Structure 1
């Protein structure tokens, strides 16, 4: 009997505490119910009632500074016809493109300006005398297009005559179709850090249709305290909201990091590369519908943070 009394004395306070806790929860839910009757609270308000902080649960973790080129399979969800921007979509119309199908063009916006790098972005070139025959044979067997080119070197031979270099140029797969389809909805600009004596005959060969409205060579690049041969897009326009640059070297767009699209470098050992038609072209179609390409490209690549990670202040 004494043991039962002792037990009741021990457990009675705990029972009372449990009842009090239950009543507090009932009162809490009644309070929420009363707020619902007066006006439905937001999800964040309800979270604040139970002591959870808005930032800790709703805000995504801060992404670390990063940079990665566009892989082969990325952005394929845009498909043949890219979606309209999520807010304030411009009026769009469709135009026929090569090979059938139609591409969307924002009729209320001026044409997108696409600045394209040359070496390791559209082509790759090797000095013919030093190119192993096996590389050329494998590339040919895999269907990679290539040609040999004579170009004028900046070096001089005896008696002041310019030296002639012989190079073998491999075209990135899909190059011709890429330029043809891209020119339907964008103004094309070639911007290379290569010398004109080398680059001009090369571009003449890959752009026989003169789809590039401008060609810029090494003298058009500038040197900064961090890198040489930087491509300053302000030489094309003061308003760069509709200008993008595609380059395998992200330091090329150091001065305008939010206008840059870093791509995977191309070499003769990649005969099945699909970057131009399967990755870059769908992305550019999507950007052609944006009033300002920079917010989208910032969210996609976070290039200012990448430069800061490399001890280069963001422009």
Structure 2
């Protein structure tokens, strides 16, 4: 019996083999087109660049806040580093709590209308998220030197207006955003119709440090750090006062059933309003100085 030749073993030039290869290449092309469309759609999901310019994707937000009191005392080194005063549990503070609120991804989320996927928009609206469209002035200029107008779609975090209403009953409110005023001012006008914010601060009021830009220095608002707290989805915003911060979970339009404002943050702020000094309680809950040290930010950077 004669040996089979290489051509007989691998009949690569037969019509049947050529047809098979054409089918395989056709399927590869089909799946590549689907993959490309998915990647292209996902590229539109990030929030407006000017609304979260200081965010850090490596930070994993802390889980829902536990509202029980911890029994363990903060380490002595951490207490001395931030100069926390002793708390008199029998003393009910007469001064109102001062609550500083971030805007983007904390109270609302905003998208450039032209880049917002229709599926995401419809899903958020059908799920009941309050939303509105906004015209805001950009720092960019048109060809004739006129300010460029950006069209933005804004989604409110669930419970936003009720959160602000209830919070204003026992606290003074300040809006502090790293966003530009041309964008943030008309947005805040829409969510704060009753002018419950006593002060609004925008990007020019932030501070640049050697570790991060657009840091929110609370001493710009009050020199007394005992009764001031900042709520922000980006913890680097309060790196100068780490034991005055509450790092909340970022909000997006894909989270229509989020309950952070009313179920988690509001009860915590109510507890803090009853403290003479908010810092020991916030340190016990979040240990933010320890987290910042792990990021390579020394205690000497803190106020």
Q: TM-score, normalised by structure 1?
A: 0.69
Q: Which residue of 1 aligns with 2:295?
A: 310
List aligned pairs for 1:22-33, cutoff 5 A: none
1:202/1:223 CA distance change after superposition, 3 Å = same
1:125 is matched with which residue? 110
1:75 aligned residue: 66
Match of 2:281 among 296, 309, 314: 296
CA deviation vs aligned residue, 1:219-247 (integer Å, no higher than 9, x gap): 00011000000000001111110000000
Q: CA RMSD in A?
A: 1.7
Q: Which runs of 5+ in 1 are unaligned?
A: 1-66, 79-85, 92-107
1:188 aligns with 2:173: yes
2: CA distance between counterparts of 1:128 and 1:68?
28
Matched-pair contact (CA < 8 Å) for 1:90–1:109: no
Count of residues in Structure 1 that have an aligned counterpart in Structure 2: 226
Separation in 2 of the partners of 1:71 and 1:138? 25
Runs of 4+ with deviation above 4 angstroms: none
Residue 160 of structure 1: which of 139, 145, 149 is its match?
Answer: 145
Match of 1:296, SS state, is: helix
Give the TM-score of the pair, scaled to structure 2: 0.72
Q: Secondary structure at the match of 1:278?
A: helix
Q: Structure 1 pair 163/139, CA: closer, same or farther in 2 (3 Å)?
A: same
Correspondence 1:42-61 to 2 at 5 A: none
Gap runs ≥5 in structure 2: 1-58, 70-86
Counterpart CA distance in 1 for 2:124 and 2:178 is 26
Q: Is the 8 A contact 2:89 2:275 kept in 1?
A: no
Q: Distance in 1 between matches of 2:180 and 2:248?
A: 22
Residue 212 of structure 1 is matched in structure 2 by 197
CA contact (8 A) 2:231 2:248 kept: yes
Larger radius of gyration: 1
Distance 2:67 2:236 in 1: 26
